[in-house]
Amino acid sequence: MGIARNVLLWASRNRWIENQFRQRQFAKKAVARFIPGEDANSALAESKRLNDRGITTVLTYLGENVSSIDDARAARRQYEELLDKTHALQIDSHISVKLTQLGLDVDVGETARNLEALAEHAASIANVVWVDMEGSNCVDATIDTFRKVRAKHDNVGLCLQAYLHRTPDDLEQLLSTRSAIRLVKGAYQEPASIAITRKQDVDAAFLKLSTRLAEQPPKGPGIRHGIATHDMKIISELSRLGAERQWDRDAYEVLMLYGIRRLDQLRLVDAGVPMRVLVSYGEAWFAWYVRRLAERPANVGFVLRSIFMK
Ligand SMILES: Cc1cc2nc3c(=O)[nH]c(=O)nc-3n(C[C@H](O)[C@H](O)[C@H](O)COP(=O)(O)OP(=O)(O)OC[C@H]3O[C@@H](n4cnc5c(N)ncnc54)[C@H](O)[C@@H]3O)c2cc1C
């Protein structure tokens, strides 16, 4: 894929660039397009507004790669409070977590306990926990941890990335246990040995895997497969296939990110497509934000100018 995308994905992991960017006056304003605020209340208020418009949400507390058990437990507590608030405010929203935020780089066993605790907490209020997929070095541990927790709780779902060569196999294995899958194209920098690199090939893989998901619903309360993309060509093609093959309306839901393709989100929900929007909040927005910029590399000049010029 493009050089600009690679530069941005490299920048998303660079501390110096992060510090420079955070000091810029306009940084918070620029980030506000994708994140309603740093605190949970802003994310909950936006969720409520979206719910009122017929769109459900999935909430993410930003953060990844924590380096201590205490930080991992603090993230888990943050999510438990978030679940309680969605319940108290009657907001229709799942949560989505990164396993490196629950301790994957520090202690895999502790990470599984954190995820299991969240699944139990969510089950007690009839809610659902999604697990994000991160860089390819985390995929084995993420799938293993997910499978352990999914064996006891069916209110959990897992994100898989269509660009990875391994994903068709992972998807088949997970479908054999009727797990719920959220399919994405993939947001990280991966070599050709691990991931498909031509965009049209990623798009084709995504469509093929989405079709497979739509034909095999998951088992679990209040959970559907998620087709997570802003690619309207793919969404239209899936609708066409659904009508032709008489898929259930509930066969999948479409997911998009907060702030991206807002009008299409409304058009889809008005056309009867189940629509869920991922709303993020938290102070650790830098890496997440720059991955969003990498999805639109036309923004690279703007970002670099902001970093190197006063
Ligand atoms: C709900 C959700 C959860 C996700 N979770 C994960 C995850 O756990 N792991 C992971 O690796 N990735 C995740 N992603 C990101 C995903 O991998 C892609 O990087 C991202 O969705 C962009 O790809 P696309 O499918 O929208 O298609 P693209 O072909 O990249 O985009 C299609 C069109 O959508 C618009 N668009 C896309 N992105 C942007 C943007 N950032 N800003 C403005 N316009 C844009 C553009 O008009 C573009 O032409 C998630 C995405 C969503 C929607």
Give bridge partners of residue 275 from the DSSP assignment.
254
What distances in angstroms separate CA 114 from CA 119, 172, 211, one per listed residue?
Answer: 9, 26, 32
Q: Give domain status of residue 228, yes or no.
A: yes
Q: Give domain status of residue 29, yes or no.
A: no
Rounded CA-CA distance 202/161 in Å is 10
Ligand 1 in reach of 185 Cβ (< 6 A) = yes
- Number of domains the chain is built from: 1
Rounded CA-CA distance 98/134 in Å is 7
What is the domain range of residue 134? 36-284
> Is the Cβ–Cβ distance between 235 and 188 less than 8 Å?
no
Q: Give domain status of residue 298, yes or no.
A: no
Where is 19: in which H helix or E strand?
Answer: helix 15-23
Which of 295, 296, 299 most suits a substitution to test ligand 1, by most atoms within 8 Å of the C-beta? Answer: 295
178 is catalytic: no
**Protein residue closest via CA to atom 17 of ligand 1:** 186
Q: Give domain status of residue 303, yes or no.
A: no
Selected catalytic residue, list 76, 150, 182, 224: 182
pLDDT for 70 equals 96
pLDDT for 299 equals 62
Selected catalytic residue, list 105, 132, 154, 203: 132
Q: Give domain status of residue 1, yes or no.
A: no
Q: Give domain status of residue 205, yes or no.
A: yes
Give bridge partners of residue 280 from the DSSP assignment.
60
pLDDT for 54 equals 98
Global pTM?
Answer: 0.93
What does the pLDDT profile of the chain (310 residues) look like in tens digits? 677 788 888 888 888 888 887 888 777 777 888 899 989 999 999 999 999 999 999 999 998 889 999 999 999 999 999 999 999 999 999 999 999 999 999 999 999 999 999 999 999 999 999 999 999 999 999 999 999 999 999 999 999 999 999 999 999 999 999 999 999 999 998 999 999 999 999 999 999 999 999 999 999 888 999 999 999 999 999 999 999 999 988 889 999 999 999 999 999 999 999 999 999 999 888 888 888 888 876 666 665 665 565 4
> Is the Cβ–Cβ distance between 145 and 108 less than 8 Å?
yes
Q: Give domain status of residue 21, yes or no.
A: no
> Is the Cβ–Cβ distance between 88 and 44 less than 8 Å?
no
Q: Give domain status of residue 14, yes or no.
A: no
For residue 97, what is the domain's CATH number?
Answer: 3.20.20.220
Quote the ligand 1 centre to 254 CA distance (angstroms). 12
182 is catalytic: yes
Ligand 1 in reach of 128 Cβ (< 6 A) = no
- Strand, helix or coil for residue 186: coil
Rounded CA-CA distance 85/195 in Å is 38
